[in-house]
Structure 1
Amino acid sequence: MKIRFGTSGWRGIIAREFTWDRVNRVVDAIGLMLQGEGRNSIVIGGDCRFLSPELAESTAERMAGYGFEVILSRGPCPTPVLSHACRKGGHGGVINFTASHNPPLYNGIKFSPWHGGPADSDMTTSIEKLIEAGEKPERGSGSVVQKDLRNDYSREIQKYLNADVFLSSNLKVVYDAFSGAGSGLLDRILLDLGASVRVLNGVRDPLFAGRQHPEPGESGTADLALQVIASGASLGVATDGDADRFGIIDENGEFVSPHDYLPLLLNYLVEVKGYNGVAVRSVTTSSLIDRVALDHGLETVVTPVGFKYLGAEMLKGNVILAGEESGGLSIMDHVPEKDGILACLLAAEMVCAEGRGLAAQLDDFWEKYGRVYVSRVDLHLDDSLREHVTENYFESDPSEIAGLAVESIDRTDGVRMILEDGDWVLIRLSGTEPLARIYVQSDTSEKRDGILEKVTAGFHRMKHI
């Protein structure tokens, strides 16, 4: 079985695809590539999954044996913190043991080059070829230095926050750390800013407290929503296992979709913080961002799915906000990588600065900009479904879907079929899991749900033929 990198690194089921021997092969390929680039230092860490700490320590010693100066995270470390340490220290890259939001049986390796963002496709293809070749890096005499990387990150993140608005806000936050690496960091920053914080699932648990899909989406934050109501909190926030993704609950205990939070945040960054530049979103993310950008005279750039594409736009400079519907964002000159911690801190700042919760803010926002409704359904991808999607959507131009005429087709990522009134259906294959993802956007929730129901029903019928 060949090792292949997906949208965000190489992931596999522990002891089946993800084995110690295969990890060493990937590490050796990364070391060989970095030596070829003349880079001799690297940051290594991981999240709270099974074997992540042990693999990080073993890999640190292995890379030191190849002559690298290794900065090893002391304990589990969020992905954006590792990225920050790489950029701040001028290191050659990051080896990060994480499978992000995948089920507990998975682990993975995410490699980030010198800029701290995800490796692009050309780089991961090069790593795959080096793995196949099976060569090892040249031996050397390096070193391993353990460091708590969170302290520098905590200081640096302050430049994106207005600490003054927290002082007299009496902010009450409930934080679900998803038994992951964000625990002890996001809550500490909020406490230092003056907020009252209650933490859920703040202890390391590789089984994610029984969550089979540790993703801070609407279903994953249901318990958090209940606790926000019970606590009378102003805000609920969540981060996934490696704290690169975020989830937000408003003052009424309702989930705030990234499709709504991202355009609301963009408007805040421009109107209140005075930022200027380009807005970047993935093709699966609500076009409400485009409306806000247009209103402020800003350009919008639309990318394929995967933060490696959004991060590449950030590296060009002059980006206000880069965000995607799966719960990832970054801003300005911050790391070109998803940062769930920053996303949650900015939500808290908005509540304090506006003196009201996100639900109230969104009501006024929708009154001005209108509203769009986006949903996603994931279907298990077996061979028959893969063949059906490939033949009928990827290799042909469908003229209709769900009984509606297709007016145009966008192939930025997968196939996006634009219908009348600007509604659309997008079908793509996940780059991290064996799933077919179906997205629908419409101007009413009723139309969205009707289209989504017809599309998924059609796929289910096909699977049983």
Structure 2
Amino acid sequence: MRDLVRRAEDWLAQDPDPETRAELAGLLASGDQAALAGRFAAKLEFGTAGLRGELGAGPNRMNRVTVMRAAAGLAAVLGPGGKVVIGYDARHKSDVFARDTAAVLSGAGLRALLLPGPLPTPVLAFAVRHLGAVAGVTVTASHNPPRDNGYKVYWRDGRQIVPPVDAQISAAIDAVGRVDRLPLGEWETLGPEIADAYLSAVTALPLGDPKVRDLTVVYTPLHGVGGGTLGAAFERAGFAPPHVVAAQRDPDPDFPTVAFPNPEEPGAMDLALELAGRVGADLLIANDPDADRCAVGVPLRDGGHRMLTGDELGGLLAEHVLTATSGGSRRVATTIVSSSLLGRIAAAHGVAFTETLTGFKWIMRAGAGLVFGYEEALGYSVGSDAGLPVRDKDGIGAALTVAALAAAARHAGRTLLDLLDDQAKKYGLHATGALSFRVEDLSLITAAMDRLRAAPPTALGGRAVEGIDDFTAGAGGLPPTDALRFRLAGAARAVVRPSGTEPKLKCYLEVVTPVGPEGDVDPARARAAQDITAIGDTLTAALAL
């Protein structure tokens, strides 16, 4: 207990934030050992996703001391002289953390450039290359719960950092002394021209005939920062303003209308779906709070709307990009947990296909000629013959592209569902599903993965397990990661991995069902849905969570 108290007192002596100082003083006065241990017995680890955690005092929380130490570590690795762009979302303390980062970087001899307000993460990723910066930082926890915040670093190429840079920054952070002794400097705040340059880049994507824009769109930013940028992008591209969910229009760090501000979570899209029904929307679009992800809903043939899966939208966007671009050196990429459909599409178009580990930090390193990358968790980077304007997932560029695709389909008397049927007939129906297990104790996830490795199932959903890929040893030449892929009889598979950003174990399921050019897709979908359910049920039992 005495060691915890000593660490807390040292922290309190350097903390510049009156809120966390009051929190910590109260804990010390009360002698709450459990609360002190939760904050000081461990620390947030800086990895390839940067930092992410709950707000509060201490090294195991997101706060001004943690952020200033991270900025000082980054500055030590970069060295003086270059430009660093800093962006932030509208979460609690994001603006404060961004200014602290700018002050520390400037004090270390770097030129700190702060974005002019809360803006989508893809604007920051774009700005790094556009401004010739040596690095970029964005303060965001993306779609995490309201009490979380985070800190993500981009390198000079506009991509998220990967090893060994993350380890170098982590080691430099550990060497930082008291933050109240760090030299602080002044920073520059950029003007609206940086957002204007981003909008020019994304509206130059292949968006089809500019005269074909007749489309009724419902949109929600889910209380995040995407609304203004998406509205401006739609206007520039010639689309009518979308119908915006009023209760979710403005940034709100408490996310009052949703349990989790993630379009994939149950209930998150209820208000948008209700509005889509009222206005007869041709398309429903949602961004997550920092607008790097894009979710899409479509009208059903017999009324109502449904959300597309990330893999369904990935297939549609890939086909669009490969049809709209040219050249034999093109490449598309996705991850080990996404649908195998993209590989089939790439082969049909005669372009290279690369499978990577999960996360856009890996997708964006798939190789030369990359014109499209996606992951099933609603992340997409759409390019043109000129390349990718954003080397990260971009919820605004994806939204623009799917709106153009939907408008063209509507103009031809068709829908996105018709385009999905076309793909199923050409490539086979690639049905996917997902399971997600949120836990309070991360050791439960470790134990579940250990059980699967020690006694793997011999069948899932009545399909024999024909092979197992354990990615901890770097299967398929990929870097090591904690994931298992079960290859099942009859063109099916299941992938199991712990989330890298949340206390979840995730499972990704796929069944490929032949349809044929004259086949009826609906019965195939029904059969595939039953197969996905059966695989998920037996996998759930095996995990015992």
Asked if these proteins are the same fold (TM beyond 0.5), I'd say yes
RMSD: 2.2
Return 5+ residue gaps in structure 2 as ranges: 1-41, 472-480, 513-527
* 1:175 matches 2:219: yes
CA distance in structure 1 between the aligned counterparts of 2:436 and 2:327, rounded to whole angstroms: 36
Return 5+ residue gaps in structure 1 as ranges: none
* 1:221 matches 2:269: yes
* 1:188 matches 2:232: yes
Residue 282 of structure 1 aligns to which amino acid in structure 2?
Answer: T
Residue 202 of structure 1 aligns to which amino acid in structure 2?
Answer: R
* 1:435 matches 2:504: yes
Residue 455 of structure 1 aligns to which amino acid in structure 2?
Answer: L
Give 1:350's aligned residue. Answer: 405
- Farther off after superposition, 212-221 or 184-193: 212-221
Give 2:31's aligned residue. Answer: none
Give 2:451's aligned residue. Answer: 392
> How many residues align structurally?
456
Give 1:2's aligned residue. Answer: 43
1:239 to partner: Cα distance: 0.7
Quickly say closer, same or farther: Cα 1:365–1:289, change in 2 above 3 A.
same
- Farther off after superposition, 150-159 or 339-348: 150-159
1:419 paired residue among 488, 499, 504: 488
2:249 paired residue among 202, 227, 243: 202
CA distance in structure 2 between the aligned counterparts of 1:52 and 1:141, rounded to whole angstroms: 19
Quickly say closer, same or farther: Cα 1:7–1:449, change in 2 above 3 A.
farther
| Paired residues of 1:249 and 1:256 also in contact (CA < 8 A) | yes
1:235 to partner: Cα distance: 1.0
Per-residue CA deviations over 1:408-453 (Å, capped at 9, x if unaligned) read: 1223450001010121111101110111111211131110011102
Quickly say closer, same or farther: Cα 1:404–1:388, change in 2 above 3 A.
farther
- Farther off after superposition, 90-99 or 400-409: 400-409
1:103 is paired with a residue whose SS is: coil
* 1:250 matches 2:301: no
Larger RCO (alpha carbons 8 Å, 6+ apart): 1
Residue 266 of structure 1 aligns to which amino acid in structure 2?
Answer: A
Per-residue CA deviations over 1:33-86 (Å, capped at 9, x if unaligned) read: 111xx5521101111111111221232223222222121111101111001111
Per-residue CA deviations over 1:331-385 (Å, capped at 9, x if unaligned) read: 3422221101111111011122332431222222222222121111111243552
Residue 306 of structure 2 aligns to which amino acid in structure 1?
Answer: E
Per-residue CA deviations over 1:108-134 (Å, capped at 9, x if unaligned) read: 100111111111131111111111122
* 1:287 matches 2:340: yes
| Paired residues of 2:112 and 2:187 also in contact (CA < 8 A) | yes
* 1:374 matches 2:432: yes
Residue 249 of structure 2 aligns to which amino acid in structure 1?
Answer: G
CA distance in structure 2 between the aligned counterparts of 1:432 and 1:387, rounded to whole angstroms: 15
Quickly say closer, same or farther: Cα 1:394–1:142, change in 2 above 3 A.
farther
Residue 376 of structure 2 aligns to which amino acid in structure 1?
Answer: E
Quickly say closer, same or farther: Cα 1:384–1:61, change in 2 above 3 A.
closer
* 1:268 matches 2:320: yes
1:191 to partner: Cα distance: 2.3
Give 1:446's aligned residue. Answer: 530
CA distance in structure 1 between the aligned counterparts of 2:334 and 2:212, rounded to whole angstroms: 34
Per-residue CA deviations over 1:288-308 (Å, capped at 9, x if unaligned) read: 111111212222111111111
1:238 paired residue among 257, 269, 286: 286
Residue 278 of structure 2 aligns to which amino acid in structure 1?
Answer: A
| Paired residues of 2:44 and 2:53 also in contact (CA < 8 A) | no
| Paired residues of 1:68 and 1:141 also in contact (CA < 8 A) | no
* 1:153 matches 2:203: no
Aligned-pair identity (%): 28
Residue 106 of structure 1 aligns to which amino acid in structure 2?
Answer: D
CA distance in structure 2 between the aligned counterparts of 1:70 and 1:264, rounded to whole angstroms: 39
- Farther off after superposition, 420-429 or 367-376: 367-376
| Paired residues of 2:84 and 2:112 also in contact (CA < 8 A) | yes
Give 1:300's aligned residue. Answer: 353
1:87 paired residue among 129, 134, 137: 129
2:469 paired residue among 410, 418, 421: 410
Residue 369 of structure 1 aligns to which amino acid in structure 2?
Answer: Y
Alignment of 1:106-121 (within 5 A): 106-121=148-163
1:264 to partner: Cα distance: 1.7
